[in-house]
Amino acid sequence: MEGRAIRLAHKFCKQNGWPLAQGNRTYILSVFQRRLTSLSKRVTLSPESPIDSSDRSFIKAEDTMVNSQTPDYQNEFSQFLSDFSDYIRFEKGKILERVTDYSPVSTSAVLAKLHKISGLRDLPDMSSDALLVDRLSEWLINAPPEQRELAGLNIVRPEAGTHHIPGRYPIFYDFQNLDIVLHEFLEAGASLSGRFLDFGCSSGRNLAVLDYAYSDSLDLYGSDPSAPSIEFVRETLPNVNAVTNEQNPPLPFADGFFDFVIAKSIWTHFSTTAAAKWFAEISRCLAKGGYFFFSTHGPHDIASRIIRNIPSPRYDRFAGDDHWTRDSFLSAAIKGLRNDAVFFQPFKEITYQGDLKGVENAVTDDWGVTFLLKDAVEALLPDDLEIVRYRVARTASRHDSYIVKKR
């Protein structure tokens, strides 16, 4: 059975252009299991959908057609995809599955340092294309422990009990999303130097890359409400100033302290009340002329859930209805965007959300899942924060990204 799984993994990854680290048995199986699961859950759209009908060929998983979308919602979802098509990214008739239109900013910086270390073998060549992250990640996966030690890239993913978001590859470092974040900063006109805060840093995947590549130009800080996550950052990244913050403001930093703040997949969870409070707090901590990157769920993320069933959380764990299904929840989210430009539902229980584990006296009132249109974001921002760059489907290849600048 395992041999058959490996063969299928090779076949699926080759056909769909997914990277595959050759010779790594565990990795091959993990790729196959993750990708086959996502394929088996994809849905069929009605003929009115703007998605090319040829996409139906990608729904099959081992000759089994699965349609998890009920007819009651078929027309509503198709109309949504049409009405919000300006905020949904398609490529060749399919919804975007992976962002590649960015420069590998941090990956290139890391690789440049690696090439200066004597004794490292089989390093990928320098390149300016976004897929450089694949080659560096595959090198890390396949490199013997002593090579990772020599490279200084030997942090392993934390054990259960410490929050960690798995990435595209089974490694600790998040090269790809940080590449996108830094690319957006540079496109907005920023220079990467000064004090830099990762707000909601979790166990430090972004900070680890920043510390490796930019320790000479960036003074790094991380904050998170999860004490185990911050302890992990302190143990593995001694150059980073890591602090625990409460679920509500303030942060333990002076006014105008930071030149850069990032918050990847944080405003995807805040209620509008919490979002407005924390926008004001970030503004307080940001220096005049400073830059702030954050990401949100927008129409593209809903489209990803409709078409690809990615992500696929337990929707019945959100408040608002005791019997949420995927389709009824997304229907409510669509109505929320149409009527109010925002939709939020908190988690019913702390135990349903890994982000809040390890948070002392945690509550879910203002933490759940949130979808926002740009109009809602603009209404929530304080007057001294100006949106200077907005892109659809950036981090995680489905979150909208914003760069705001302090006036």
Q: Encode pLDDT of 14-53 as tens digits.
A: 444 444 444 344 444 444 444 444 333 333 333 222 333 3
What string of DSSP letters covers 152-163?
A: T--PPPPPTTS-
Decide yes or no: CATH 3.40.50.300 for domain 47-407.
no
Structure confidence at residue 87 (pLDDT): 97
Structure confidence at residue 67 (pLDDT): 34
Structure confidence at residue 9 (pLDDT): 53
Average per-residue pLDDT for the chain: 86
If pLDDT is split at 50, 70 and 90, which confidence band does 69 have?
Answer: low
Structure confidence at residue 24 (pLDDT): 42
Average pLDDT rounded to a whole number, residues 118-131: 96
Measured distance CA(181)–CA(175) in Å, rounded: 10
Domain layout of the chain by residue ranges: 1-40, 47-407
Structure confidence at residue 1 (pLDDT): 45
If pLDDT is split at 50, 70 and 90, which confidence band does 353 have?
Answer: confident
CA distances from 366 to 108, 143, 152 (A): 38, 43, 39
Give the bridge partners for 262, in sequence order.
198, 293
CA distances from 407 to 141, 283, 326, 381 (A): 43, 10, 41, 12
Q: Encode pLDDT of 143-177 as tens digits.
A: 999 999 999 999 999 988 788 888 889 999 999 99
Query: How far is Cα of residue 236 from the mean position of the Cα atoms in its chain?
Result: 22
Average pLDDT rounded to a whole number, residues 89-107: 94
Q: Is residue 403 pLDDT above 60, yes or no?
A: yes
Segment (H or E) for 224: strand 218-224
Measured distance CA(137)–CA(98) in Å, rounded: 16
What string of DSSP letters covers 319-378?
A: TT-TT--HHHHHHHHHHHHHHHSEEEEEBS-GGG-GGGTT-TT---TTBEEEEE-HHHHH
Q: Is residue 2 pLDDT above 60, yes or no?
A: no
Report percent pLDDT > 90 for the chain: 74
Q: Encode pLDDT of 194-251 as tens digits.
A: 999 999 999 999 999 999 999 999 999 999 999 999 999 999 999 999 999 999 999 9
Structure confidence at residue 10 (pLDDT): 53
Structure confidence at residue 351 (pLDDT): 78
Q: Compute the chain's Rg from CA coordinates.
A: 21
Q: Encode pLDDT of 297-311 as tens digits.
A: 999 999 999 999 999
Structure confidence at residue 65 (pLDDT): 22
Q: Is residue 76 pLDDT above 70, yes or no?
A: yes
If pLDDT is split at 50, 70 and 90, which confidence band does 400 have?
Answer: very high
Structure confidence at residue 167 (pLDDT): 86
Structure confidence at residue 360 (pLDDT): 79
Average pLDDT rounded to a whole number, residues 115-130: 97
Q: Is residue 316 pLDDT above 70, yes or no?
A: yes
Q: Is residue 354 pLDDT above 80, yes or no?
A: no
